[in-house]
Structure 1
Amino acid sequence: MNLLRILKIINKAIKISINRVELNTSFEQIGEEINNNNFKMLPITFQDTLIISSLPFHHRDPFDRLLIAQSLNNNFILISKDKFFDNYQIKTIW
């Protein structure tokens, strides 16, 4: 199964709306490709929010904190080069 975090789509939509990201295609086309390639969206759950509420504040970015919570909640490996993730008990690769 191909799994995509809805959080990443929301984050990208915000960056597009404030002109921090330019795409070579339309955002709508990306959505069509997600559907055409059978990606499933990982929802944000209440359990994720419970984990967020107990995380130490090594990092304050709400999107990153949700990535951390979802990684903990689902035992995911996070792909990132950001070193602040090392402050949390999640698996990362880069």
Structure 2
Amino acid sequence: MAVQVAPDAATTELRAPEWTNLHRRMGAVLRQASRVGRVPDRPSWLTGHRDEHDGRCPRCSTALRRGRFGGRATVWCPHCQPG
């Protein structure tokens, strides 16, 4: 299950259920990544799609958006991570 936090959301905007879900999902991703030594490819993850010029979300096929938040480049699905 995706966390669905907007990429430009300030941490102060998150409610307790969003923090709990984000923390749980981060732990799951870190456990999977540590087993293989990298972010593993998963069919529903943006990994592998984020570098494509006309990348599409693997979950809903919406065109991915690119931007910079906090000085870092990011890619997100505007449908799955609405702002």
Does the pair score TM above 0.5?
A: no
In terms of fraction of residues, the more helix-rich structure is 1
What's the TM-score once normalised by structure 1's chain length? 0.27
Higher-RCO chain (CA-CA 8 Å, sequence separation at least 6): 2
Max Rg structure: 1
What's the TM-score once normalised by structure 2's chain length? 0.29
